[in-house]
Structures are given as structure tokens and as C-alpha cells.
Amino acid sequence: MTPNFQTTTRVTTKKANLFVAPLLQRIKKESTEEYLEMQEAFKLMGWSKLPDELKIEIYEDVRFMVKELKGFYSSCDPFIQRRRETVHFWVQSFLDKIATKEAAIKALKVKCL
């Protein structure tokens, strides 16, 4: 009769640390650089005083605007242009105190399919 459990081989923590530690350091470095780059982008656009909730909602939009400005790609898609116009409209409406933070976030939230 065979036992009903499966044996597993454990990786020693020393071997795991040799792989995990550099990976975590790289992720930390990249995320810190990306955070600083995004804060600079918000500042250059005049959006540095936006609340974090609104920044989170438009984070991807701003990130791809920066990538396009750096020359990684060019988008002529009318849907992307429309989304950018929408982002600019709602951010400016919030900054001009025409729209509330909640209204801007609700309008800018990307609906799932």
C-alpha cells in the first residue's frame, strides 16, 4: 500500500535568497524610478496638486503619454485621442472646482468588459 501524500523537495533558504534578494532590489529600484518619473510628469502637466485617488485613476493614461513623448511609439488612434481629451477635461474641471473629486473619478474610471 502506498501513502496518500506527496513528498516535496524544499529549496534551501540560502538558494532562494540568492535569487529573491536581487529580484526584490531590482523591483524596488524600478518602482522608485517610475514613481519619481510619474510625479515629475504630473508636475510638468500642472497636475501635481491632484489628490492621489485621481492620480491613481489616470496613472496609466499619463504613463503612456510620457512614453509617447519619449518616442517609444506614436498613437493616432481616435479612441486614445478621445480618452486623452476626456482625461484633460475632467482634470481641468476638478482643478477649476467645477467638478468634485468623486465625479471626476467616476467619469474617468475605465469600465470592465
Mean pLDDT to the nearest integer, 22-34: 85
Instruction: pLDDT band for 4, please (50, 70, 90 cuts).
Output: low
pLDDT at 101: 95
Instruction: pLDDT band for 72, please (50, 70, 90 cuts).
Output: confident
CA angle 91, 62, 22 (to 5 degrees): 140
Per-residue pLDDT for 76 more than 90?
no
Which grid coordinates belong to 67? 512614453
CA atoms within 13 A on the CB side of 93: 17
Residue scoring higher pLDDT (38 or 112): 38
Contacts 24+ apart (CB under 8 A), 93-96: 94/50, 94/54, 95/46, 95/47, 95/49, 95/50
Per-residue pLDDT for 41 more than 60?
yes
Per-residue pLDDT for 49 more than 70?
yes
Domain boundaries, the chain: 13-108
Q: How far apart are the first and last CA of the chain?
A: 51
Instruction: pLDDT band for 75, please (50, 70, 90 cuts).
Output: confident
Mean pLDDT to the nearest integer, 7-24: 63
Per-residue pLDDT for 7 more than 60?
no
* One-letter identity of residue 22: P
Q: Are 105 and 54 in contact (CB under 8 A)?
A: yes
Any idea which residue has 538558494 for its cell?
15
Give the separation between CA 80 and CA 61, rounded to whole angstroms. Answer: 9
